[in-house]
Amino acid sequence: MSIIKNINALAVCLLIFLALVFSVQVQAQTVKKVQFPKGKTEIVVKGKLPLNYGDYQVYVLRARKGQTLSVELISDDGDSSITVYETQKLGPGEDGITPAESNLREWTGKLPITSEYSVQVYGPSDFNEKGTGKPYTLKISIR
The span from the CA of 115 to the CA of 64, in Å, is 6
Residue 37 lies in a domain: yes
The 10s digit of each residue's pLDDT in 13-70 is 444 544 444 434 445 578 899 999 999 999 999 999 988 877 899 999 999 999 999 9
Per the structure, how many domains does the chain have? 1
What is the CATH classification number for the domain harbouring 110?
2.60.120.380
Q: What is the pLDDT of residues 120-142, one digit of tens each?
A: 999 876 666 677 788 999 999 99
CA 81 to chain centre: 9
Q: Please, which residues bridge with residue 33 across strands?
A: 60
18 within some domain:
no
Residue 85 within a domain: yes
- Host domain of residue 113: 29-142
Specify if 99 maps to a domain.
yes
Record the pTM.
0.74
With vertex at residue 138, the alpha carbon angle to CA 27 and CA 63, rounded to the nearest 5 degrees, is: 85
Contact status, residue 64 vs residue 114, Cβ threshold 8 Å: yes
Nearest to 25 by CA among 58, 59, 51, 60: 51
Query: Can you tell me the distance from the alpha carbon of 13 to that of 5, in angstroms, rounded to the nearest whole number?
Result: 12
